[in-house]
Amino acid sequence: MPTAARHFRWDDLPKENLNPLLDRRLITGERMMLAHVYLKKGCVVPRHSHENEQLTYVLEGALHFWLGEDESEEVVVRAGEVLTIPSNLPHKALALEDTLDVDVFSPPRQDWLSGTDAYLRGR
């Protein structure tokens, strides 16, 4: 039996501050997660990987990504563009300007939900 539908407004959701250059808001369903990620210019998301498939849709700004174990593939994702990141592909990112992106994960990121995402929190 399906669970009930839920309606959200981004502005009504709490903004979680992860470090001085990074904030996010999360909406989680049973099998996917949607996040607004707010990155200030110069914010670095350190190299990491996860089993979750990821779609990154940049609404405002631009992100420079390094992909792969050796970071040999580089791509800049600008407003209106989407990057698909397969499961377990190492990646890191740099905000080239103040950026708002929408990240979609399947399944939901348990480390984000539990607060064990130390790589984003400067720990």
Domain interval for residue 55 = 19-120
What string of H, E and C letters represents the secondary structure of the chain? CCCCCCCCCHHHCCCEEEECCEEEEEEECCCCEEEEEEECCCCEEEEECCCCEEEEEEEECEEEEEECCCCCEEEEEECCCEEEECCCCCEEEEECCCEEEEEEEECCCHHHHHCCCHHHCCC
pTM: 0.94
Domain containing residue 27: CATH number:
2.60.120.10
Does the residue 29 lie in any domain? yes
Q: What is the pLDDT of residues 77-123, one digit of tens each?
A: 999 999 999 999 999 999 999 999 999 999 999 999 999 999 999 75
Number of domains in the chain: 1
Note the pLDDT tens digit of each residue in 15-74: 999 999 999 999 999 999 999 999 999 999 999 999 999 999 999 999 999 999 999 999
Query: 9 in a domain, yes or no?
Result: no
* Position 5 in a domain: no
User: Is 48 domain-assigned?
Assistant: yes
